[in-house]
């Protein structure tokens, strides 16, 4: 089994004002992606597949290609707004990528075995990669439509710099995911958060609720399922310039249809990431503390 790590790096960084995926946060100029590759390699992953936009591939290759390549074999695939080739639809004027579900589909040609999916600008921690790898390599995981979602407590994922969206996970007593509720405009409040629901009622969160931060474990069977759902999505939304085919919503649909099961993995490490520019200092400080404690070397790449 060759475990692959699919890194979603095609975002445009509109709220950040640039390619935050390539922002340097480590003491020797490392990006978050490089720490993910380092942790993934230690957990048993062998290959990284970077999903990028065609116009940014050269920038990613020059900035991080060789440094990620020091730990994992590296492939690049493109996520574009043009879906005419894969879905036999005429090209549109859309320029924005179609969302995280479509980004995973873009990696299909580069993945042949079980794989994990992560965001390029999220720091998940070494324990989280070991958690997902253990699920993917578990001898009893023989069903090709048994997937995994790494959970994180919502409190540490909220930003003091502004509101964020989070996917609240609801799992049964058996640990299998029942639903993901998309919470929008969640603001940090003490150790937890607060948001206004669809009925206009303010709801509070303790901070211990598990949410998805887009760290998944999949088998290649997910590609056929995502392809089917994406085709149906385009039938309804191809003309909407703001519509996105999001991975959590697609997985939710598979669960509702009884076509997949998703194990929610308990929090195994602290998440931190960059949504706003104001988040960067916190990420830099977190990584510096881990380096000081010897969790990471001063310089990741040889």
pTM: 0.92
pLDDT mean values, one per 10 residues, the chain (302 residues): 93 65 92 96 97 92 92 94 60 72 94 96 95 88 85 89 89 91 89 89 91 95 94 85 88 94 90 85 94 95 75
So what's the pLDDT on residue 87? 56
Q: What string of DSSP letters covers 131-184?
A: HHHHHHH-TT---TTEEEEEEEESGGG--TTS-EEEEEEEE-TTSBEEEEEEEE
- Check if the beta carbon of residue 261 is closer than 8 Å to that of residue 117: no
- Residue 88 placed within a domain: yes
Give the separation between CA 46 and CA 59, rounded to whole angstroms: 23
How is residue 241 written in tokens? 């310039």
- Residue 298 placed within a domain: no
Q: What CATH number did the domain enclosing 237 receive?
A: 3.90.550.10
- Residue 297 placed within a domain: no
- Check if the beta carbon of residue 211 is closer than 8 Å to that of residue 152: yes
274 is in which domain, residue-wise?
4-292
Task: Name the domain count of the chain.
Answer: 1
- Residue 131 placed within a domain: yes
- Residue 299 placed within a domain: no
- Residue 286 placed within a domain: yes
- Residue 75 placed within a domain: yes
- Residue 175 placed within a domain: yes
């Amino acid at each position: 089994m060759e475990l692959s790590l699919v890194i979603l790096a095609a975002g445009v960084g509109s709220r950040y004002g640039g390619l935050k995926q390539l922002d340097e946060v480590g003491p020797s100029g490392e990006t978050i992606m490089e720490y993910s590759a380092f942790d993934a390699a230690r957990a048993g992953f062998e290959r990284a597949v970077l999903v990028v936009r065609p116009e940014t591939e050269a920038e990613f290759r020059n900035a991080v290609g060789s440094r990620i390549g020091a730990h994992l074999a590296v492939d690049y695939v493109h996520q574009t707004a043009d879906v005419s080739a894969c879905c036999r639809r005429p090209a549109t004027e859309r320029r924005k990528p179609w969302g995280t579900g479509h980004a995973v589909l873009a990696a299909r040609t580069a993945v042949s075995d079980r794989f994990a999916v992560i965001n390029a600008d999220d720091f998940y921690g070494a324990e989280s990669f070991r958690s997902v790898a253990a699920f993917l390599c578990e001898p009893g995981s023989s069903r090709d439509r048994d997937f995994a979602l790494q959970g994180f407590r919502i409190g540490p994922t909220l930003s003091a710099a502004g509101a964020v969206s989070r996917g609240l996970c609801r799992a049964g007593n058996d640990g299998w995911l029942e639903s993901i509720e998309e919470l929008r405009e969640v603001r940090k409040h003490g150790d937890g958060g607060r948001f206004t629901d669809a009925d206009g009622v303010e709801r509070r969160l303790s901070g211990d609720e598990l949410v998805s931060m887009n760290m998944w474990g999949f088998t290649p069977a997910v590609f056929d399922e995502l392809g089917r759902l994406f085709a149906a999505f385009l039938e309804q939304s191809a003309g909407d310039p703001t519509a996105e085919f999001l991975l959590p919503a697609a997985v939710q649909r598979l669960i509702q249809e009884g076509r997949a099961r998703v194990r929610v993995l308990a929090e195994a490490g602290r998440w931190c990431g960059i949504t706003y520019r104001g988040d960067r200092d916190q990420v830099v400080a977190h990584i510096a503390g881990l380096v000081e404690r010897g969790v990471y070397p001063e310089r990741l790449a040889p």
